[in-house]
């Protein structure tokens, strides 16, 4: 079931691209790469971020594990790249990869600093400056067009 669902979602995403990112398969059919553009008016603007999505054999009944490959300074993303996002813990079988990509893009635009792994002790300006510095240092590699 997982492979059929993933193939259908991949075909849909390729037929109807979204402006904020794309996905690509890997050699493992249960692992995808996602590439997201940093949202405008955020400290991530101008960056391109690579993520890994690991699916289980029972997808879409259970959601993927999400991990940033690109280093990023973000309140809700651990240093090892794993994402603290309610979509993952509150996964519904009706969610899909477009839902995931939108949720991660929204998280980049609006970090939840009240539930922060990092940066909770910084002022808003200090947080923004550090996130911009990391974006300029690590997220300038062109991942896609």
> Residue 56 pLDDT more than 80?
yes
Whole-structure pTM value: 0.91
> Residue 123 pLDDT more than 80?
yes
Give per-residue pLDDT as tens, 70-121: 999 999 999 999 987 777 778 999 999 999 999 999 999 999 888 888 888 8
In DSSP notation, 44-78 reads TTT-EEEEEEE--TTTTTSPPEEEE-S----TTB-
Domain boundaries, the chain: 2-138
143 has catalytic annotation: no
Residue 103 makes CB contacts below 8 A (sequence gap 6+) with 85, 87
In the predicted model, what is the mean pLDDT of residues 34-49?
A: 96
Task: Kindly name the residue from 2, 31, 84, 116 that is annotated as catalytic.
Answer: 84
For the domain made up of 2-138, give the CATH fold.
Ubiquitin Conjugating Enzyme (3.10.110)
């Amino acid at each position: 079931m997982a492979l059929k669902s993933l193939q259908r979602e991949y075909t849909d995403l390729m037929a109807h691209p979204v402006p904020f990112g794309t996905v690509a398969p890997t050699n493992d059919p249960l692992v995808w790469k996602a590439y997201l553009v940093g949202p405008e008016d955020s400290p991530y603007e101008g960056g391109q971020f690579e993520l890994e999505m690991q699916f289980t054999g029972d997808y879409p009944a259970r959601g993927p594990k999400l991990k940033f490959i690109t280093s990023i300074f973000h309140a809700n993303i651990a240093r090892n790249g794993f994402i603290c996002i309610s979509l993952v813990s509150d996964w519904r079988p009706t969610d899909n990869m477009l839902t995931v990509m939108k949720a991660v893009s929204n998280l980049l635009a609006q970090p939840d600093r009240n539930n922060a792994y990092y940066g909770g002790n910084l002022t808003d300006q200090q947080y923004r400056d550090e996130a911009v510095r990391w974006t300029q240092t690590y997220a300038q590699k062109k991942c896609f067009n």
